[in-house]
Structure 1
């Protein structure tokens, strides 16, 4: 009995210390973050929702690079697709092209020292971002979740896809993989370039932001938009502002629906204004607890008249919010507390009607292969689901 009490005491102390570490780390980060505001730009967009279409296009643009390649991914796996990707970077570096590869420390843990050394030997400048620092527990939770590729400062990609064979439907559990990514050319490339170089400076202490070779003259595109970077701060403000100004319809597509209290309040207030809210989520989760964590919020919104669907044709990983068919937010953040309060994310707000029409068409096809959530299903869960939902509430700040 005495030993048992000691074990319980040690566990409680550990939980308390982790809690203090998290609170202190969050406060320190909030004080350090400076908000970056980019102006409205005009660029051209090409949408990709299948990795089998995205990767050949991205890889070909990398092959065509003449001056410099800058790439940031949350996850690069160690598999055949990743090997092909890294071999292109090595070959371009050997040809004299400047190649910089920045990966999240935990998200790309599969890139072992042997692989990193091979990249560096070929001339690729490699760095990890978000390495753990004091406070340790908090810094382990903060991830760079951005996915940015810039070629010669003229062509860029951003969205939800990482690099690996999972994203070309090779994961037997989650395939086919559904995501939203886009290719951007025009004025907005400069802002993506700046964000990459800001992250590169943080990781390597080498500041290249003033070098004009990375910022060639850009043509105007057809779509008006704005790039919004967030760093565990400000995303909540962006989402609340969008919801507050929505008048008729709001669509949210996300793999994880775990909103903050403030955002949930805005969603309920939108329903009181007769805003029609539609949600698209995955059927199969790719992480433990995230599905059950969404159920309390879904119950509340469904009672208020919202419609929620779960995608049946594989795994839905898309990140999109459309308000009144007038503004569309796509990029890297999920609709969860981790993206809102912890991760480094990047959102592109697009105002071009033709882009929004195209995205609406893609979303309509995704809803057509989805099943509607019902209150009856959510209010009568299985005992296992009840237990997982209760556990999910404890860990909600990290989900």
Structure 2
């Protein structure tokens, strides 16, 4: 009996410490924040669209191959697997030619093994982790992740979106299959803002004021498509999405691998449905993380009762992230439609003003709906007790999923 009591006491102490650590860490982080979100100016660039890993990696590797001054790479995940080792080889080749190469990946989720890390460093490549675990708020900093995916080549070409570096993004994970994602390539004015964000993230980890050097901001011509970027640091994204949703008059498309919107966004969506706005949500049928699907069910059930349409993508895994409203608002980037992206992660999204590019995104989502099945209220009502039990667990930790 004493042993059981001591075990429960220890668990309670651990729970209390984790909760206190998280709450104090969150409060401290909010107090230290300056401007958030960071809204970059409208820029005119030439923008290319990718929604398959094959097309993305082909263009990505070709652009890096052409680099003559610098390559700056920031990914949430960068594995030393088949595609990752090919990228490591290419970066080492460019470094041997005198090109400055910087690689920044998330400290917890990055996926880079020691062999890959050593190969990069031994080749003279500047390698660093982002969002390291920091004292005194260890548990909170453990959950603070840099989820951005940004690459800049010679200050003239930039990439941003949802793809990371790993074989699964080429559909090579047998459990997930084909991988759908959205990514954008920029050449023109917008690249300077991607550069500024990368160098700001890099400088934060190294206390280096490198982001003002002129070599990283060459003169570039205006492109044809108007966009701007929004960078968030665990604050501002939820408010931006809620404000955009409130302006909807006709339709809203939400595409995301995870749907855990929280009470603020959920209430805004329900209010929009009551105003007659048509809302369609596109999610994956398969899951790549435990409990994230169960965490969405209570939100989806309420929205279905209010008239929303929900689709589950069947042809592989759906990792694309987009919010479209009334043919006038289009957001594509790294942020998921969940509380982690709203309140914990560093994210970087693109706001698209160009009509042609807008309809490219819209057409892609509508095509993916055809490869999906529609979720019904009956589907959710018939879910077994085991699923409902996991929902209870998921709801208690939904901010961390």
The 5 A counterparts of 1:151-230 are: 151-230=153-232
CA apart distance, 1:210: 1.3
The answer on whether the counterparts of 2:85 and 2:116 sit within 8 Å (CA) in structure 1 is no
Shift >4 Å, 4+ stretches: none
The answer on whether the counterparts of 1:76 and 1:111 sit within 8 Å (CA) in structure 2 is no
The answer on whether the counterparts of 2:39 and 2:228 sit within 8 Å (CA) in structure 1 is no
Partner of 1:277: 279
Partner of 2:14: 14
Give distance in 1, aligned partners of 2:147 and 2:195.
16
Give distance in 1, aligned partners of 2:14 and 2:388.
27
CA apart distance, 1:362: 1.1
CA apart distance, 1:314: 0.3
The one of 232, 236, 239 equivalent to 2:238 is: 236
Partner of 1:129: 130
1:120 maps to 2:121: yes
SS of the aligned residue for 2:39 comes to coil
**TM-score under structure 2 length normalisation:** 0.98
Partner of 2:50: 48
The answer on whether the counterparts of 2:291 and 2:394 sit within 8 Å (CA) in structure 1 is yes
Partner of 1:340: 342
1:312 maps to 2:310: no
The 5 A counterparts of 1:83-102 are: 83-102=85-104
Give distance in 2, aligned partners of 1:88 and 1:306.
46
Give distance in 1, aligned partners of 2:11 and 2:301.
34
Give distance in 1, aligned partners of 2:187 and 2:111.
31
The answer on whether the counterparts of 1:69 and 1:149 sit within 8 Å (CA) in structure 2 is yes
CA apart distance, 1:356: 1.2
Give distance in 1, aligned partners of 2:217 and 2:383.
54
The answer on whether the counterparts of 1:69 and 1:98 sit within 8 Å (CA) in structure 2 is yes
Select between 375-384 and 14-23 the one with higher mean Cα deviation: 375-384
CA apart distance, 1:325: 1.3
The answer on whether the counterparts of 1:154 and 1:186 sit within 8 Å (CA) in structure 2 is yes
Give distance in 1, aligned partners of 2:116 and 2:378.
51
Select between 103-112 and 353-362 the one with higher mean Cα deviation: 103-112
Give distance in 2, aligned partners of 1:242 and 1:52.
33
Instruction: Provide the alpha-carbon RMSD of the alignment.
Output: 0.9
Select between 118-127 and 18-27 the one with higher mean Cα deviation: 118-127
Which structure 1 residue ranges, 5 or more long, are not aligned? none
Which structure 2 residue ranges, 5 or more long, are not aligned? none
SS of the aligned residue for 1:219 comes to coil
Give distance in 1, aligned partners of 2:305 and 2:318.
24
Partner of 1:375: 377
Give distance in 2, aligned partners of 1:27 and 1:82.
37
**TM-score under structure 1 length normalisation:** 0.98
1:156-192: CA deviation from partner (whole Å, max 9, x where unpaired): 1111000011111100000101111111111111110
